[in-house]
Amino acid sequence: MTRNLTTAGDAPMDQPELHHPWGIVSPSFWAGAETAPEAPPAVPCGLAAIHAASAAGRHEDALLLAEELDAQLTAAHGEVSLDTIQVREVRGYLTDLAGRAPEALEWYLHALRLRARLHGPDSPDTEAAARRAYSLWRTLPPAGAQDAAPALLAALTEAQGPDSRAARRTRRRSAELAAGA
């Protein structure tokens, strides 16, 4: 196909039209596709403040900041949003740092259920959340681990099914604990 251009500065007449790999650039190209909204500025700023408090050893202050950020995100985006879930996992982590591992496990189990709702049971994010919950459970003293085993197994079964790797490991470890191992 040739084009006949007569405007000064255009390609010479009868020169083949130039095709680029991306096609013809038009105003709609520059408009671009709709993108996901950017994270609210509160998230990075809030997480930075939480990190600063925690790094300074002020875990209870960090927990209060995380609680405030959680409330803001839940009000803005609902419970099943990635930002909200991540802040709830941070709350679990901070609770563990504050020396309250059983309560931290509850946060991790809550986040696991939310991740399964958001991403599905086979998602790498859901699998990672299951590993975090299982790993935290393994740090509990034997009596505490025995007490928490039913809640962990219920959450893993709900999130990933009864035959998930984490559920099988939990049943095995729970049996060992019951046997006094």
Judge if 52 and 82 occupy the same domain. Answer: yes
Question: What is the per-residue pLDDT across 45-90, written as a single tens digit (0 to 9) for each?
Answer: 899 999 999 999 999 999 999 999 999 999 999 999 999 999 999 9
Report if residue 130 sits inside a domain.
yes
Mean pLDDT, residues 137-147: 97
Is residue 125 located within the same domain as residue 164? Answer: yes
Q: What is the pTM of this model?
A: 0.75
Whether 109 is covered by a domain: the verdict is yes
Cα separations in angstroms, 161 against 7, 23, 125, 155? 69, 47, 15, 9
108 shares a domain with 68? no
Q: In terms of residue numbers, what domain contains 92?
A: 40-99
In a domain, 15, yes or no: no
Closest C-alpha to 83, from 63, 66, 95, 97:
66
More confident residue, 122 or 44: 122
| Spatial separation of the C-alpha atoms in residues 40 and 49, rounded to whole Å | 15
